[in-house]
Structure 1
Amino acid sequence: MRDNGTSKHAVALEGEARFGPFRLIPSRHLLLCDGKPVRIGEPARNVLTALVERAGEVVQRDDLIARAWRTPHLEESNLRSAIAALRRMFNEAGCARSYVDTVARRGYRFVEPVSFSDAVVARQDVPAPLAKIVGRDAFVKNLVDDIRRRRLVTVVGPGGIGKTVVALCAARLALPAGYIDSVILVALDTVVDAGCLMSVVRAGFGLAANNDDAIGDIKSFLGNRRVLIVLDGCERLVGPLAHLAEKILICAPNAVILATSREPLRAESELIRRLEPLLVPSLASTPGALDAISCAAVELFLDRATSSCPSFELTDEITPFVIDICRRLDGIPLAIVTAAAHMDAFDLPVLADLMSGQFRLRMSGQVTALHRHRTLCDVLDWSFETLSAKEQMALRRLSVFDGVFCIAAAQQIVGDAGLSPDDVSGLLANLTAKSLVITPRSVAPSRHQLMETTRAYATGKLEASGEAEFFMNRRASYYRARSERSRAALAEFHCDAGGRNEPRPDLARQLVRFAED
């Protein structure tokens, strides 16, 4: 759901940019090193300008080619030659390392902190979405109001749910509303090392690393400006970013931070907005085409399916297949968009059948998407890799539940000599916070569930661990014992009733518990 083809900064370098010993002045077609002009070809200079404008971000190869040669139809070898020329130039200038990193299968990133002139920084824009956004109007409206009233808001939800999309939409609406004067976008999804965090944040702010006092530099830069700082993709560095957010808000009294993450930052005064999956028709209903479109998940599938197959029409006969696809994909926008893009390869009934298996995890999405958004498996890998060993173990084992479960069942089935009941409770809470376990609103309280896609992924992990048969048998034994105790309690209840004994509230409560489980 993320727009990677559009610059997050969208700055036009009408002034100049400074990095290391260099000054880049695109309006004069000039690059200076220690005040002296540097001889560099126009394509290489254009590539450098595009990279510097988006310092700290990954810039796609196609974007760089289009920018440097003003056409997308060019051999990639030309781009590699321009990058090599830049690296030679940096080396000849005595730079200790290249300022340009290669990001495998994606593009290039300028890693040296850049300082822009004030006029340039003030012109940062929020990229507009390339496709229609479905089912998020109310959430975005509330988020804009949050920006007006609160100073730290975190949009939380599982991967592919559309957190970046709603954050950018809210930022784009908050600007003309006058709640803020400018927006600073900091992409953190590629940062996995806390040691690199401040460098990336400084680059996002357009600040040069002239000293070790990063917070002091940020304080001087922000002052009393009403700035919205969007910290996008925080889940890999939740702890360090929580501390950083608090420090920024203390030193910049009028700044507002809008973060996106798969789990809350748990920082002081944080307002958490959980982004839910798109609405899917309930299992109890069998709506026709007109009624089904009122559910956002179906509307999104139809919108994207007609992009892949313009002749596609939603009829009453095929609506159940569309609903089934949306249910199998848990109403996750990224998954629905990816499935709809396969309408040119499969008939709808075949596609619906494929969504019940592992294909849904492996189906390829947009080639321009972030690497962690290429497939649902990539999305879940990104989350799984952030878990501790015990959290990974618990998630694998929870996949034996094919529906809702209570904490007592989780403790009995998932726990073992290495996982006490208290361990299981804490791990369940952690996995819920990280958007890997959900608490359905439509069932009894204190019940939990894995989304279908998460369960399919975790089942694969459980099978790979060699524990699948053991824990499936343990689950069967647990519910068999529960069933036997339920029958015994029911027989005793009927016996008491037939004998006209005194009421037994304890038996009644026990029967209710068994029914709920």
Structure 2
Amino acid sequence: MNSLRDVSSEVVLRFGPYAFHLSQRLVLEGDRPLRLGGRALDVLQVLVEHAGSVVSKEELIAQVWPRSVVEEINLRVHIAALRRALGDGQNGQCYIVNIPQRGYSFVAPVRHSPKPVSFPSETVHKPLHNLPARLTPITGRDAVVGSLVRQLPVRRFMTVVGPCGIGKTTVALHVAELLLQHYRHGVWLVDLAVIDDPAQVTDHLTRTLELKIGTTLEALAQRHALLVLDNCEHLLERCQTLVETLLHSMPRLSILATSREPLKATGETVLRLPPLAVPPASGLRSVAEVMGYSAVQLFVNRARARQQGFTLREQDLKTVREICRRLDGLPLAIELAAAQIDALALVGLQAQLDNCFQLLTQGRRTAAPRHQTLKAALDWSYERLTAVEQTVLQRLAVFKMAFTQDAAIGVISCDRLPPAKLVKAMESLALKSLLSLEQGGAVTRYRFLNTTRTYALEKLELSGDLRALEMRYAGYISQARWTSGRQVALQFTK
């Protein structure tokens, strides 16, 4: 299929009340320019050039994203944006139809005009944003991204929550990219990780929005915009106040936040980001079946980028599954592990998992410092804990499997860490996504991610308390197992 870039740039394509000026990359309805992004225009060009024919989704993606691997949701979002912009379905007019199992077709008559019309450059809409360029495709997040894209303009305030390395920023930025054309006054990323003082938050926001010195936020009252407040966890109270103030004074504003824990602001909708899907031990029957799991997809994609010719073979399935499982399905950990494929090969990677922080130190030079290595990401979270929370996190690392509050009290409580204080710290660590909660009947259990536990164990060993805590842990387990009539407080889970 030929690209529309082969069509003369002097041609104007006309359909219904619209004129598509190829040289200006501009669609006009009469004298009014339509607000369409570059990708949406690319999709429209391909469809209009092949008006009356069915263009498969694969062909559209290949034409619009020739050098990238993208998810089908990208195409669906741009098709939906085109339909809205063209008023598709209104007054009985139809331009783009979906042909089930085949693709899309532009069904309106198209007329070619050889005479271009010049338009002032200022009539061309350029999306307003400060989003960074995305260098790699996103894997396994179609459902989450689609949900956020649909809900955010309606709910106005949503927070993506999860542990470090889970991909909160990646998801938020992708959602922002897909919503660029929806917000008339732009989409703005506000990275709060670069400041630590709550008093600096408002100034940082005004600088990001490029407001003049002395301008107050009230001046933004009528702006139709999206703010992405990234890394809110260390400034929760200030962010809560700011968000509530902005949403009240700016009725057309939407806010997408990322944080280890909810902001607990009025009107907040929380979306907890899950790990990527790891195949079960019983699901290793074929390469095709294993490649249906997003954690494996990400590992293979990043391994291929690192080692030309990398292929997942049937004899590799158990090893790759174990790597993804031990890394908790965390995208950052999987990416960093796959980056070592040329040096260690699969067997070497698996052998190094017990020493995962030395393994996962080959960082991404283009990422923010806290995301360049897994240890850096956890350092950033750990340093913002209270001293009590740090101590509890370290000591709980002696638990190899899921554990209850009673078990934690029995093993690590002491005069300096009484039960009430310990339980409060555990609840806080769970809220901050450093512990996971498992609900089984009436009993709540806590669990570490493997990567977080390894990190906490290193800290515990450096404190000099590892041996003493291991002995207390062993004694508690022995007592729990053999005391007649006592309910077992610790249950091992796979």
TM-score relative to the length of structure 2: 0.71
**In 2, distance between residues paired with 1:334 and 1:156?**
16
**In 2, distance between residues paired with 1:250 and 1:121?**
28
Structure 2 unaligned residues grouped into runs of 5+: 1-123
Q: Does 1:160 align with 2:174?
A: no
Residues 1:312 and 1:121: Cα distance change in structure 2 (over 3 Å): closer
Partner of 1:476: 474
Deviation at 1:358, TM superposition (A): 4.0
Partner of 2:17: none
**In 1, distance between residues paired with 2:272 and 2:306?**
31
Partner of 1:191: 195
Partner of 1:276: 274
Deviation at 1:388, TM superposition (A): 0.1
Partner of 1:267: 265
Contact 2:159/2:256 (8 A) holds in 1: yes
Counterpart AA for 1:135: G
Counterpart AA for 2:189: L
Counterpart AA for 1:278: L
Q: Does 1:150 align with 2:155?
A: yes
**In 2, distance between residues paired with 1:343 and 1:443?**
42
**In 2, distance between residues paired with 1:370 and 1:514?**
39
Q: Does 1:339 align with 2:343?
A: no
**In 2, distance between residues paired with 1:385 and 1:361?**
22
Partner of 2:86: none
Partner of 1:399: 397
TM-score relative to the length of structure 1: 0.68
Contact 1:400/1:472 (8 A) holds in 2: yes
Residues 1:516 and 1:375: Cα distance change in structure 2 (over 3 Å): closer
Aligned to 2:141, which of 136, 142, 157? 136
**In 2, distance between residues paired with 1:366 and 1:240?**
31
Deviation at 1:326, TM superposition (A): 0.9
Q: Does 1:203 align with 2:202?
A: no
Contact 2:357/2:375 (8 A) holds in 1: no
Structure 1 unaligned residues grouped into runs of 5+: 1-118, 490-509
**In 2, distance between residues paired with 1:171 and 1:394?**
37
Partner of 1:228: 226
**In 1, distance between residues paired with 2:441 and 2:314?**
29
Residues 1:316 and 1:444: Cα distance change in structure 2 (over 3 Å): farther
Counterpart AA for 1:184: W
Residues 1:403 and 1:443: Cα distance change in structure 2 (over 3 Å): farther
Partner of 2:78: none
Deviation at 1:164, TM superposition (A): 1.2
Contact 2:480/2:488 (8 A) holds in 1: no
**In 1, distance between residues paired with 2:269 and 2:323?**
33
Partner of 2:217: 218
SS at match of 2:339: helix
Counterpart AA for 1:483: R
Aligned to 1:415, which of 407, 413, 416? 413
Partner of 1:172: 177
Contact 2:402/2:491 (8 A) holds in 1: no
**In 1, distance between residues paired with 2:489 and 2:191?**
47
Counterpart AA for 1:205: L
Residues 1:415 and 1:126: Cα distance change in structure 2 (over 3 Å): same
Contact 2:403/2:490 (8 A) holds in 1: no
Contact 1:321/1:352 (8 A) holds in 2: yes
Deviation at 1:264, TM superposition (A): 1.6
**In 1, distance between residues paired with 2:305 and 2:269?**
37
Deviation at 1:446, TM superposition (A): 0.8
- Show the 5 A alignment for 1:239-388: 239-283=237-281, 285-360=283-358, 362-388=360-386
Residues 1:437 and 1:283: Cα distance change in structure 2 (over 3 Å): farther
Deviation at 1:356, TM superposition (A): 2.0
Deviation at 1:513, TM superposition (A): 6.4
**In 1, distance between residues paired with 2:275 and 2:337?**
16
Counterpart AA for 2:210: G
Counterpart AA for 1:451: L
1:398-417 deviation line (CA, Å, top 9, x unaligned)? 10011111111012212111
**In 1, distance between residues paired with 2:244 and 2:164?**
25
Counterpart AA for 1:182: G
Residues 1:196 and 1:235: Cα distance change in structure 2 (over 3 Å): same
Contact 1:224/1:252 (8 A) holds in 2: yes
* Count of equivalent residues: 371
Counterpart AA for 1:139: V
**In 1, distance between residues paired with 2:293 and 2:402?**
23
Counterpart AA for 2:146: K
Counterpart AA for 2:158: V
**In 1, distance between residues paired with 2:404 and 2:165?**
27
Contact 2:360/2:374 (8 A) holds in 1: yes
Higher mean C-alpha deviation, range 126-135 or range 331-340: 126-135
Deviation at 1:196, TM superposition (A): 2.4
Counterpart AA for 1:475: Y
**In 1, distance between residues paired with 2:438 and 2:144?**
19
Contact 1:175/1:181 (8 A) holds in 2: no
Partner of 1:62: none
Deviation at 1:442, TM superposition (A): 8.4
Contact 2:296/2:320 (8 A) holds in 1: yes
Deviation at 1:236, TM superposition (A): 2.1
Contact 1:199/1:209 (8 A) holds in 2: no
Counterpart AA for 1:365: G
